[in-house]
Structure 1
């Protein structure tokens, strides 16, 4: 049976951020920590070794695959900082158009630095993602 690699851990979020090598990335991580905590209303938790997640939901696909994941989150990677949201829908795509300088994948949005984006739009994306996931997976905690 497949075992999820990215699980909630008891590791310290602040310790993880303090170990980010690049001082600018570390500063951005603290800024994102404040934005995600305030907007989501959830405390930050480490998911796996490098994702800072907020809230959680349980998903189950038609294939039978199921697991838990953070509602939203971020990771200050060496290259770009990854922001984790629900996969794209029209509302997300509209917000991405206003976010600022970024690239994106199915569920991830990649930024170089917080100064490149509109933090108000980031807040809207966090709220939109949480609402979308709660509607999609209503049997959650």
Structure 2
């Protein structure tokens, strides 16, 4: 899948994210659908009764930006976000143009802390 990413820089950044997330989660990469690379898994259940599985963290090399999925959200990481670099966020999405726009050590910490939080909130059976 990553070999087919047309933009050379985005492809290289994607392979770096693959290494980083695999190292930090201790989980192998799994393709979730046609374009999401995920690591680990958790089971969620809403009050409505809806439930399912999703990855602990992951990414997708989208045309506009690299999209990183920080499933715990960003509200508890104000200090890290202030030091991260150039990015945009959605609810659980971190959008970066290229890895060189962010501080990799801060990104490592953000991913590691998010995964730890998710594992605590959604322990595996």
- State the TM-score, normalized to the length of structure 1: 0.83
Out of 57, 78, 95, the residue aligned to residue 72 of structure 1 is 57
Provide the rounded CA distance (Å) in 1 between the counterparts of 2:117 and 2:27.
16
**Counterpart contact for 2:87–2:94, Cα < 8 Å:** yes
Q: Secondary structure at the match of 1:49?
A: coil
Please tell me whether the aligned partners of residues 58 and 70 of structure 2 are also in contact (alpha carbons under 8 angstroms). yes
Gaps of 5+ in 2: none
Contact 2:72–2:117 (CA under 8 A) maintained in structure 1:
no
Aligned residues: 125
Q: What's the counterpart of residue 92 of structure 1? A: 77
Secondary structure of the residue aligned to 1:78 is coil
Contact 2:72–2:118 (Cα < 8 Å) also in 1 = no
Distance 1:79 1:90 in 2: 24
Query: 3-state SS of the aligned residue for 1:35?
Result: helix
Indicate if the aligned counterparts of 1:91 and 1:128 stay in contact, CA closer than 8 A.
no
- In 1, Cα distance between the equivalents of 2:50 and 2:23? 32
Q: 1:87 to 1:39 in 2, by over 3 A?
A: closer
Residue 107 of structure 1: which of 86, 92, 95 is its match? 92
Structure 1: 5+ residue runs without aligned partners?
A: 1-15
TM normalised by structure 2 equals 0.93
